[in-house]
């Protein structure tokens, strides 16, 4: 299993949030565009799409909240222990450099 760095996790979270926003916007646009042209089957599909959009919005809010909480917790930890954080970053970078130069 591949481990990912915090930067990669943050980047993928941002991409996921952007994708969710795009899906929500596209879905809302479809609902507005097709609202007048829908028959009975279309109304059922519209309700399902509306429910899916609400779930996507809720998921987006949860992911955004979790990312914000994680960033705040990391910031607090680093501010409470600046020298330990600096030491960990230094030795992590040094270890990373050693591994890269061996290959």
Write the pLDDT tens digit of every residue in 21-43. 777 777 777 766 665 565 666 66
**Per-residue pLDDT band at 45 (split at 50, 70, 90):** low
Whether residue 4 is predicted with pLDDT greater than 80 in this model: the reply is no
Higher-pLDDT residue of 100, 47? 100
Cα–Cα dist 42/100, whole Å: 57
Task: Kindly report, residue by residue over 59-84, the tens digit of the pLDDT.
Answer: 888 888 888 888 888 888 888 988 99
Here the tokens at position 30 are 């479809």
Q: Are 25 and 17 in contact (CB under 8 A)?
A: no
**Matching residue, tokens 């130069």:** 101
């Amino acid at each position: 299993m591949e481990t990912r760095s915090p930067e990669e996790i943050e980047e993928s979270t941002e991409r996921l949030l952007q994708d969710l926003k795009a899906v929500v916007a596209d879905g809302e646009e479809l609902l507005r565009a097709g609202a007048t042209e829908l028959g009975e089957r279309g109304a059922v599909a519209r309700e399902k799409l509306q429910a899916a959009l609400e779930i996507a919005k809720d998921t987006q809010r949860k992911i955004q909240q979790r990312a914000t909480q994680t960033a705040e917790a990391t910031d607090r930890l680093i501010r409470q222990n600046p020298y330990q954080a600096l030491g960990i970053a230094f030795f992590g970078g040094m270890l990373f450099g050693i591994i890269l130069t061996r290959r």
